[in-house]
Amino acid sequence: MHGVNLANRPGGRPGHGKAPGPSRPTALRPVRWAQNRLQRAPPRRAHRGGLVRRGRAGPGRAVPCRSREPGWAMPCRFREPGRAMPCRSREPGRAMPCRSREPGRAVPCGALPAAALGLRVLVLSAALGAGAARAQPPPFPFWDPSLPWQRRLDDLLGRLSPAELVLQVARGGAMGNGPAPPIPRLGIAPYNWNTECLRGDGEAPGWATAFPQALGLAAAFSPELIYRVANATATEVRAKHNSFAAAGRYSDHTGLSCFSPVLNIMRHPLWGRNQETYGEDPFLSGELARSFVQGLQGQHPRYVKASAGCKHFSVHGGPENIPVSRLSFDAKVLERDWRMTFLPQFQACVRAGSYSLMCSYNRINGIPACANKKLLTDILRGEWGFDGYVVSDEGAVELIMLGHHYTHSFLETAVASVNAGCNLELSYGVRNNVFMRIPQALAMGNITLQMLRDRVRPLFYTRMRLGEFDPPAMNPYSSLDLSVVQSPEHRNLSLEAAVKSFVLLKNVRGTLPLRAQDLSSQRLAVVGPFADNPRVLFGDYAPVPEPQYIYTPRRGLEMLGANVSFTAGCSEPRCKQYSRAELVRVVGAADVVLVCLGTGVDVETEAKDRSDLSLPGHQLELLQDAVQAAAGRPVILLLFNAGPLDVSWAQAHDGVGAILACFFPAQATGLAIAQVLLGKAGASPAGRLPATWPAGMHQVPPMENYTMEGRTYRYYGQEAPLYPFGYGLSYTTFRYRDLVLSPPVLPICANLSVSVVLENTGLRDSEEVVQLYLRWEQSSVPVPRWQLVAFRRVAVPAGREVKLSFQVLAEQRAVWAQDWRLEPGTFTLFAGGQQPGQKTRAPSEVLRARFSVTGTARPLRGC
């Protein structure tokens, strides 16, 4: 069906007071960035790959829909040009018109045959509250909200035929593989499991508030901020879902089951999907995942606002396409690294109450993740007690055979993945997909009917907790409407999140903050491919906001009333063609120069790794020319990237006065930059790097090697990186004192209490990220050189001090020695605004104190 036209909705915001024109379905309406001084650009649309250009990548070159990799013949959803696939085809090799329902029958995009439409509206009305039929649901016990959840599930599952059960697990995607079909005789509606909620409602038709990309949110080091972003995301997801349901409409991406935190460790600086992660540290990732899951799902005792799913489970962090394809890659990992690096954050996600996990494309020591019983059953369900569902990454079940050649048929693949613990197949859009072979497996006895019911059970439990089978009046989330989408509160949160995500990497001679009173008499030059191109500021899996709410660096600085001049120098991030003369002219006439460089999804994204750390194309030359043309006037480098960049020239050169890492700040980019550059109240930079930036390619290990040696700050080599994990500067200065550990001698199973005093010794109110690291002085097995065990972002007014308390849990001292184990010995605890002993560092000190643990070694589970 057509999307909801948010711009012309009743009570909506058509923008700038203009009368709305003829209504045009939002799902089909191109998004034009040109508005309110934004440059004109070709129409864009949202999909799982973020913001992409409609149509062609170049003359005569068709870009098929959503492909994953060149050379993989999969229907629809292809990411790269060069493989012409029919839009929304249902089976391999069957070319069908967009949204056609059967071969050879053309149905216009967005339309349904009348009979199907009538049935769908009837079912939605019955099950989701539209119309009188919902007031009298079918007289089955599973519709009775007074009964316990498990009794309702027993009743529902007992009424489903094997054929109906199969369709519920086989339809986990969209575009032919979804939704899970309705069951009209029971009043059960179709349900879409394929919703992206990484940092806003990423795919549903209509506008949505776009929050900074995940890696930038991680740089804020603030679980509280993550919680608020997740909660705002869930509010907009639920509001759109309610709107579609009330109208009797269905869209591929208006479900309430969200793919949300990406908990893969940022283990390699060139991995194309680094931007979607929470960085390189498992503890930081776990804490942020906990907040995101709880924020997305809400705090209601009975109902979930939107259900959270963490991905990609597990040992998945590159390669995408260099040097081999992710679709066939075997990640060979030591058990210790698996347990201490790649699993802890997923366990935190489970503990937070996540309803689902997504199994990844790769093999783990030879066994595909989506057919890996050790991963999906022994660890996830046996050790962690997970009772939710596992959904495959898109096409991952099919690739067990087609990519990994682990099985020889779709039937064998279905048996392997279902028995291993996979509940739901999200396919490439193949209608006759792997899980459609389950009836054969049932007939042969390779899958039991009870196991199939067990795989379906958490799917319907999730839908029940979302409120689908209860009267809408019981669920407070059912009243959310489109007025909350892009609300002032959410737009302000997007701005706050962008401000808090920025990391100040360099600031010499007081280059920043700029003086607001000087701006009216100064000329600012804003240059570079990121200076005024909205498309490159969002990153992957981005929601699409209304153009009036998108602020490029140029537009944000113009809001200050400054005299701003602009030239891109090169029109896109790859910077293959560079106009030096225009850049020199603009920079030479300016008093302050802002150079906006980086990567964007043109350079690093899903299915696209980088080959090196360099600034793309002519970007370094552009920066060097700007510094020369500025002739000593202030030059500020703004970076828009996820994976680390080699900016060693800028770090060392006196002509670059400041460097600010901005990541992908999304819609509020320009406003946030303006606030931080001026050091406005609440905008003193306090972000910290969530990943190490190497000093050069000689510090970058091979992508396909999954040993942790030499990777991340926990196992880094002896040579110092360019910028360490946890690093970031401030506009003020801090002093730490009075570190106290209690008790200094611990029994083997006891927790450690820590207190420290933090003082703002500068002249500006600011926030500081306090970081605690633990070092094992003796251990029977290899351990990290030190490990982040606590952190807190705290505001401290100028001249004031605050005493902070932390607790380090016994389990944070555990090591993996065939089991999680606590050992006696001596430990060192570091407290400060950064890691201990770094070459590139903030001016504040790092305190240290030792404590000892007594007793005999024992398994963690024995405490």
Sequence-separated (6 or more) residues with CB below 8 Å from residue 743: 750, 752, 753, 851
CA dihedral over 165, 170, 174, 175, signed as positive or negative? negative
Amino acid in the structure at residue 676: V
- Helix (H) or strand (E) segment spanning residue 239: helix 223-246
Query: From CA 88, how far away is CA 603, in angstroms rounded?
Result: 27
* Beta sheet of 820-822, edge-to-edge order: 815-816, 820-822, 858-859
CA end-to-end span of the chain, whole Å? 56
Nearest to 249 by CA among 98, 88, 112: 112
CB count, 10 Å around CB of 388? 21
Cβ burial of 22 (10 Å; 0-12, 13-18, 19+) is exposed
Catalytic residue among 201, 252, 281, 393: 393
Query: From CA 597, how far away is CA 570, in angstroms rounded?
Result: 10
Buried b (16+ CB within 10 A) or exposed e, 670-703: bbbbbbbbbbeeebbbbbbbbbbbbbeeebbbeb
255 within 8 A of 194, measured Cβ to Cβ: yes
Q: Please, what is the Cα angle at 87 between 83 and 88, to 5 degrees?
A: 125
Q: Specify the residue for token string 């593989």.
A: 177
Three-state SS for 835?
A: coil
β-partners of residue 795 are 767
Query: In degrees rounded to 5, what are phi and psi of residue 745?
Result: -125, 120
β-partners of residue 660 are 504, 638
Is residue 411 left, alpha or beta, with left meaning phi > 0 and alpha meaning psi from -120 to 50?
Answer: alpha
Query: From CA 335, how far away is CA 177, in angstroms rounded?
Result: 35
741 within 8 A of 730, measured Cβ to Cβ: no
- Helix (H) or strand (E) segment spanning residue 460: helix 449-465
32 within 8 A of 526, measured Cβ to Cβ: no
Q: How far is CA 634 from CA 594, 608, 678, 679, in A?
A: 9, 35, 14, 16
Structure tokens at 78: 């292809």
Query: From CA 597, how far away is CA 608, in angstroms rounded?
Result: 19
Query: From CA 268, how far away is CA 594, in angstroms rounded?
Result: 29
393 has catalytic annotation: yes
Nearest to 380 by CA among 423, 441, 425: 423
Query: From CA 279, how far away is CA 776, in angstroms rounded?
Result: 23
600 within 8 A of 573, measured Cβ to Cβ: yes
Query: From CA 469, how far away is CA 379, in angstroms rounded?
Result: 32
Nearest to 24 by CA among 46, 42, 53, 2: 2
Please tell me whether the peptide bond between 553 and the residue prior to it is cis, using omega within 30 degrees of 0.
Answer: no
Buried b (16+ CB within 10 A) or exposed e, 347-369: bbbbebebbbbbbbbbbbeebbb
Query: From CA 167, how far away is CA 177, in angstroms rounded?
Result: 10
Catalytic residue IDs: 393
